[in-house]
Chain A
């Protein structure tokens, strides 16, 4: 069976080859619109297949007067490294570069200066603007704030932080979530599930109540100093002193959280105006923003 099949193909191939050995003569027909259609056939060098080429051409005669010396030089044979190469530009030495727009203009220099201006103007305008972080009021973008993970923007109940973790765990734990504070998205915001505190409105609120914002803190302040000072009025759950990333010095403000709000209000009262490190501390409850 297979033998027969093989023979058939061979036979077919033979037929094809026989056919392709001869090429039909090229045809040329004149069209009504003055063009000419030329159909020519050739063998492809690689595959041996017959290729039919149909070209439609229009002949126009362009007369050009050329300096006879120049015309003569056009006919010169190539020499040196180009010897024996075909007529016309060779791809290895001659190529076309990208287009260049060249429009001479009066006052070219001034127009160039204008072109550069938009960038420089923007730079200049940025130079004078004061960048203010919404979280810590530092001179950087809010998105670049080193405290953006630990603090909410000043506007929105500053002071939310990991100190609330204990309570969180408690709330979620009652759910039987195995001590994890993670709450699945579909359960979020449901009072019965996340604990009444959440239902009470905003996850920062509870914290706010017992968090003091301390400003005008000395550059050389240490977190432990603050903790010692504020611990006199009650159990301090957290002290956060904003520090400059590069210099390691304090930035002049801190947050102190108490476990109990009454302690916090007492501390607020007593510590406001307290002298520390040659500076008068200013203490207030961490504000909510509008």
Chain B
């Protein structure tokens, strides 16, 4: 497998996302730009410029028409994917840590950071596709998270629930229509931040990555922990692969902590686990900084990882990846 190195960013990557058809990759970084790349050959389609702070998060709607981004300049911005034009800006009191479209693309949620005078909130907007420049100024729903602040969030299947991960290791389930609190569970160790939530293709379950060095597969309906993947490094991201039953975990010692550890390296590798058997099956090296995000092609052809080193590494899976099976999987 020959990775394609995407070097369009000058600072640490924060998130990488595939479009629903898997043909375009969107990457955002602390250098205040968002890049769009063709996943087939790594060609850069364009950039979305306008943010004036580190961009924390990016997401694209299922039709690849609109791109949403959240940044440290306290705005959520909406972009026309095709032209790179800014179509809408929502302003907030604190920075935006996560944005995500609902499965049907009709809603967009944003997670705002807790800061002096501003509570952590999950905010939902209705998105209008008839005239993309005409978006509601007012939010459709606002959930105030008064206990531990929310770090990540997403919509479950049929936009039924909003699931949020918090900085104390809990997962909370909210009603996506009313914003009502439904359930909460201490999925990860206490006071261990949940750094990522990514969905299975049908959004009935999701994977969480946490600083407690584990990733967990959790059901969206009842928040039961189905699988747990133990690693030896704080995790920043976790993804579920379609086609094959694997999960990919990314993480690594934070740069500021590398010098205080005696480990041979920072463990800047993407780790592949078997989704069902919870067993590590391999690693992919390459980054020379922690992996901040791993994203998998919804078509299952490739995966991309964005690192603290400022590179996106795009890996197209080869035969070895597809042919691997456990003994019990063979007939």
Contact = CB atoms under 8 A, between A and B. Distances in A.
Contacts of B315: 100, 102
Interface residues of B, number: 46
Given A81-B47, A89-B43, A108-B279, A102 B320 contact: yes
Given A74-B38, A81-B49, A100-B286, A90 B44 contact: yes
Given A79-B84, A102-B282, A88 B320 contact: no
Interface string A73-104: 11010111111000111101111111111111
A82 B45 contact: yes
B47 to A, nearest CB: 3
Contacts, number: 120
Given A82-B47, A106-B327, A93 B281 contact: no
Interface in B310-325: 313, 315, 318, 320-321, 324
Nearest to A111: B282
Contacts of B261: none
A69 interface: yes
B294 to A, nearest CB: 14
Nearest to A83: B46
B130 to A, nearest CB: 19
Contact of B23 (A70, A101, A107): A70
A90 B43 contact: yes
Contacts of A101: 1, 320
Given A90-B43, A102-B282, A105-B324, A95 B7 contact: yes
B46 A80 contact: yes
A204 B283 CA distance: 62
A67 interface: yes
- Say which size band chain A's interface belongs to: 20 to 34
B321 to A, nearest CB: 6
B133 to A, nearest CB: 17
Interface string B205-223: 0000000000000000000
A36 B6 CA distance: 37
B5 A97 contact: yes
A262 to B, nearest CB: 64
B88 to A, nearest CB: 18
A82 B3 contact: no
Contact of B280 (A87, A88, A97, A109): A109
Contacts of A108: 279-283
B140 interface: no
B106 interface: no
B7 A94 contact: yes
Interface in B21-65: 21, 23-24, 33, 35, 37-38, 41-49, 64
B6 A94 contact: yes
A97 B45 contact: no
Interface string A163-197: 00000000000000000000000000000000000
A102 B82 contact: no
A94 B5 contact: yes
B2 A104 contact: no
B257 to A, nearest CB: 23
A101 B320 CA distance: 9
B41 A89 contact: yes
A105 B315 CA distance: 18
Contacts of A102: 1, 282, 284, 315, 318, 320-321
Contacts of A100: 1-3, 284-286, 315
A62 to B, nearest CB: 14
Contacts of A98: 2
A105 B37 CA distance: 31
B204 interface: no
Nearest to A91: B7
Closest 5 CB pairs of A and B: A80-B47, A79-B46, A79-B84, A104-B281, A104-B324
Given A73-B23, A96-B4, 11 more contacts: A69-B64, A78-B44, A79-B82, A80-B46, A81-B46, A88-B43, A94-B4, A96-B2, A99-B1, A106-B281, A106-B327
